[in-house]
Structure 1
Amino acid sequence: MKLAIVDDNKLEQELIFNTLRTYEHERNISLDISSYSDGNSFLNTYVPGDFDLIFMDIYLNELNGIDIVRKIRQMDSKVMIVFLTTSKEYIFEAAPFHFFDYILKPFESTQIFHVLDDALALLPEQEAELSFEYRSFDVHFPLSKIQYIYSNNHEVIIHTTNGTHAFRLPFYSVTDHLDDSRFLQCNRGIMLNMDYIKTMESDYFEMTDSKCFPIKTKGRKQIREQYIKYQFLKLEEA
């Protein structure tokens, strides 16, 4: 879910941001959060579809939150708006713009959690992702696009249908975030997406791009059985 916070009070902005991060951690989902300190910079860069939900303060230095939402609604009727403000006096003025919720500050984290739960229920189901932090940035890869992951010279290589990406990280720091039945660890430092395995030989897997990965000797029988079981399950679901 893509979220925007528009609030010119840095402390309030950080409080909302930290609450969203707590929700993200507790629900084990990925949120894409952008923060803005004034309405003009938000409006000047706004593109319909960029966000699923906007947390909008009403008391801003220049344009107030209702004026901003009025302009947004002229180009985007779908984005969900949540007003976060210190006063309830604007609730009737805000009503024509079909806000998703109107929350008074100081807010309880449970109020934000409830809004996010409701918003997620209305949005199309999000594709599962591999997410981890790298050099202070959040990195996201759709699981369906990852073909294989392996360790090479102190780097983790993530090969996807869109290309190859290298990160100078321990292998486990990436793969520990990966809990999905389609992924198989066939050897130390090698994780394969079984949807992209073309053939299984006695001691190696060949991928759809013709790259081959060895199956470790210890536990080889169990690894082969795991792959066969996965293929049977796919056939039953087809």
Structure 2
Amino acid sequence: MINIAICDDDNDMIQAIKTAISHYSTSHAIEFEVHSFKCGEKLLESKLNFDLVFLDIEMGGMDGLKTAQLFRQIDRRARIVYVTNHSEFALQSYAVHPFDFVVKPFEEVRISKVLDDLTRYLSENAEKDTVIQLKGEDGPLLLSLRNIYVFEYTGNRRITVYTKSEQYQIKGSLSDIFSLINSESFVSPHKSFIVNMEHIDKLNNFTLYTTNGIEVPVAQKKLKDFHNEFSRFIKNYIRQG
């Protein structure tokens, strides 16, 4: 199931995009779950996770660009497609790294092209969803790498692995972990921690916070390197998006 949001203050436009998605779903045998919102504030209040968001730039109240900036603080994974009456807004929209943009009025083939790109993107990234085997205390433990938020070394060759809502105890050292994960998404901001940068929410002085509320210290001597690594990661993420 692919989750899509449509955020537009024009109900006719919402219906037009829904119809195009429905036709694509039927012709390609792909299931979509579509949620619609009449303003940016409602989209932000939903706190739902989406694979794709069709976002009108010129809405009453909070406009689409401001909505996108705030939405990115909630969900970094969703692909944003800006929808606009004026092609010149497309250039402005790139400041918030879109997946694509659609100029009104549009034909269904334009939405089909967006959905083609989305399904291809999701398929390619699903293939990159590496599963690693760790040494659990009760035997081998298999975890999806992208679902891991934090590794914390607790001493005596014991590591706590944090996912969104679970914790696991494994054996080894953080150097063992780094040699195993082989991923540019992970960084060590402190000698006792490895963090998945995909799940960093914010940085406050010498503490970073993951999107599920885990607090991780950033060592003063590692602060500059951490900022450089995180900046590199964000730039690569924007370029891929």
Q: Normalising by the residue count of structure 1, what TM-score does the alignment of the two structures yield?
A: 0.50
The structure with more radius of gyration: 1
The structure with the greater share of residues assigned to helix is: 2
